[in-house]
Amino acid sequence: GAQVLATPIVAAGFVYIGSGDGNFYALNTQSGRPAWRYATGEVRSSAALAYGHIYVGSLAGMMYAFA
């Protein structure tokens, strides 16, 4: 697997984490299994939670918001 260089955040029963494999993941806290993933490119920064959305930036300079 790819490296995880950012601190995960936990909200609403999911762990949100970016990865060196080019994906941003939502993992179910009960099972540990991915609920979904989104191709963001490599993520080295920690995500932020604000106003019910998860925000994360990629190494390529893109900003993503997930509801």
Q: What CATH number is attached to the domain comprising 58?
A: 2.40.10.480
Residue 21 has pLDDT above 80, yes or no: yes
Which pLDDT score, from 0 to 100, does residue 1 have? 73
Which pLDDT score, from 0 to 100, does residue 19 have? 93
Between CA 65 and CA 2 the distance in angstroms is: 22
Instruction: Confirm whether 3 is domain-assigned.
Output: no
Instruction: Confirm whether 4 is domain-assigned.
Output: no
Q: Which residues contact 53 (CB under 8 A, 6 or more apart)?
A: 65, 66, 67
- pTM here? 0.90
**29, 35, 59 from 10: Cα distances, Å:** 8, 13, 22
Residue 28 has pLDDT above 90, yes or no: yes
Place of tokens 């941003």: 24
> Across residues 41-51, what is the average pLDDT?
95
Between CA 26 and CA 38 the distance in angstroms is: 9
Instruction: Confirm whether 20 is domain-assigned.
Output: yes
- As for how many domains the chain has, the answer is 1
